[in-house]
Amino acid sequence: MAIDPRTLDYVALGILVTVVIFFIYLIIYIHDIPYEIAKKRNHPHRDAIHVAGWVSLFLMHTIWPFLWIWAYLYKPGEGWGMEKIKIEEDTDTKAELEALRQKIEMLEQRLSSDASDETTRGEAR
């Protein structure tokens, strides 16, 4: 029993169409990776990254690596990392720091008095 050549043509055409559809889906999926990263990180420019991903399809993928970098630059909870954050000092830390300064001054005074005592003892001999 032989297979009709037309049947093989239709099978080959079906495989070709399936591969082309899969390839198109793969390209779209890959170009949406920066957008998915931006969405996951709650990026303020995620819509711009999404549109730029589609534009990248027509620009032969030249800006796609920059979109990836742009999506990763924003850190959740930290932002861009360029803002200056005012650090408030804790009152307990200030008190501990002042106590340590007083102890250091006391030790320096004791060392200087011990050194002066030794020099006076050395002169008396």
Residues 64-85 have pLDDT tens digits of 999 999 999 988 877 877 766 5
Is 68 exposed, middle or buried (CB count within 10 Å of its CB: 0-12, 13-18, 19+)?
A: middle
Q: Is residue 90 part of a domain?
A: yes
Q: Is residue 52 part of a domain?
A: no
Q: Is residue 92 part of a domain?
A: yes
* Domain count of the fold of the chain: 1
Q: Is residue 35 part of a domain?
A: no
Q: Is residue 100 part of a domain?
A: yes
Q: What is the pLDDT of residue 24?
A: 92
pLDDT reading at 86 higher than 70: no
Q: What is the pLDDT of residue 1?
A: 72
Q: Is the pTM of this model over 0.85?
A: no
pLDDT reading at 14 higher than 70: yes
Q: Which domain holds residue 103?
A: 86-125
Q: What is the pLDDT of residue 8?
A: 92
Contacts of 58 (CB under 8 A, 6+ apart): none
Q: Is residue 51 part of a domain?
A: no
